[in-house]
Chains A and B, each alone.
Chain A
Amino acid sequence: MSDLRKNLRNEFEDSDYRYAYAESFLNTKIAMQIKTLREQRGKKQAEIGVLIGTKQSGFSRFEDVNHSVWKTDTLWKIARALDVRVNIEFSSFGSLIDEKERFSKEQLERPTFRDDPAFRDPEIEKLVTEGELVPAGKSAHSAEVPDLSWLGNSREVASRVVATHLKQEWVNRFASLQSSATAAQSAAGGTALKELAEAKRVAGISPQATEAVVTPRQIQREAEAGNQSASDVNPFRARVRCIDNHRGPIRNRSAVKARGLNRRVRNA
């Protein structure tokens, strides 16, 4: 038996003591969990405050263990802002000791609805396990597209390459840009063109695509000029669509987007 359990067994004989102790711990737990969840989501007090209709100073008191007056509608507002539910239940005093023993930041963390394993699509999970889907922030390209850092930001270059590959008919309309792009590459050195050609070969992209290297911004501009939907020429979406042609459609596409996943770029 732990020292804490032994001590509380005696002290809890007094009902005023045990109720006050339990109330104090509940206040500590709520305050600490709000703080933990906010930090887990990378939010500032002011940001959550806005979501629940209060200022930073007003919200900060919810993260103080001395705050003792909790209104259920406030708890629901905070829960909504943190994308979790509120769970109120009656418990035995004995379980309080277990809670206290396990009390830690990790134990207070909760996933958002989108990250909740209970609601994940098995099909998408399979693709994640197989490495077909990768978190959007972790550069879906770097793993399999050759290093093009000598051209600048590798992600941007990869976007260009993919856009070129999938939207050949689109980028061909940028023939007028070819001269300036080629001039820039030439300025980077004679070997640059050779390396680019090799990169295209490794990535399975037509050598002619070299002529059509354009930035996503240029695609965007062209889309606007042609009254096209910007998303219609978004290289990332186009890439997903292309790979789907080989593997069949993903049923829950919105779930892929919501989880912040990208299709991994694959060599042809």
Chain B
Amino acid sequence: MSGWKVYHYLGGIRRDNVVKSWLKNEKISIAQIATFQDKIDTLEKSGPEMVPGFITETTVAKDIHKMKIKGNKGMKQLRPMCCRGPFSTNEYTILAGAIEKDGKLVPSDVKETAQANRKELLADPTRRVHERLTEKSEE
């Protein structure tokens, strides 16, 4: 088994799961969440080379990669930002959520946010969690 893991960044004073908060705020449909979760499951089970096109090979900003989850008709184009590691080679951490609209990322400063969150994470390694997108977070 590949032994890969995909973590979610915990942001703010309340340490909210930024990925789940973003999905909730954007009112992302359960079908798209399922698509997102499938890609993560396949990556964790078989490694990133088994999901070509899911994570950009080149960085979109320093240390930041873009995830792509295509939405069909009327659905949003999900583009969460992640980084490799940062504590081990066989892991990714999703740092911030974004959608793509008319070829532009929304919010426009998502790359900077992702970089800032990565710095925070490096300073405090407990600021991340490994859980499923549908899983209810502990209060």
Contacts and interface: CB of A to CB of B under 8 A. Distances in A.
A105 B52 CA distance: 12
A155 interface: no
Interface stretch (B11-19, B39-47, B120-128): B39-47
A31 B33 CA distance: 20
Interface stretch (B68-76, B80-88, B91-99, B107-115): B68-76
Contact of A64 (B34, B50, B53, B132): B53
Contacts of B53: 31, 63-67
Interface stretch (A18-26, A81-89, A253-261): A18-26
B52 A31 contact: yes
Given A31-B52, A32-B52, A103-B45, A66 B38 contact: no
A132 to B, nearest CB: 40
Q: Is the interface of B mostly helix, strand, loop or mixed?
A: helix
Interface stretch (A9-17, A142-150, A171-179): A9-17
Interface string B48-75: 0111111000000000000011101000
Contact of A24 (B34, B46, B50, B134): B34
A100 B45 contact: yes
A66 B132 CA distance: 20
B21 interface: no
Interface residues of A, number: 28
Interface string A1-45: 000100100010010111111011100100110010000000000
A20 B51 contact: no
B32 interface: yes
A68 interface: yes
Contact of A105 (B34, B35, B50, B72): B50
Contacts of A65: 39, 51-54
B137 interface: no
A20 B32 contact: yes
Interface string A94-105: 000000110111
A18 B42 CA distance: 15
Given A100-B45, A103-B42, A24 B52 contact: no
Contacts of B39: 24, 28, 65
13 contacts: A4-B45, A14-B30, A21-B37, A23-B35, A28-B42, A31-B52, A32-B50, A32-B51, A32-B52, A64-B53, A65-B39, A104-B46, A104-B50
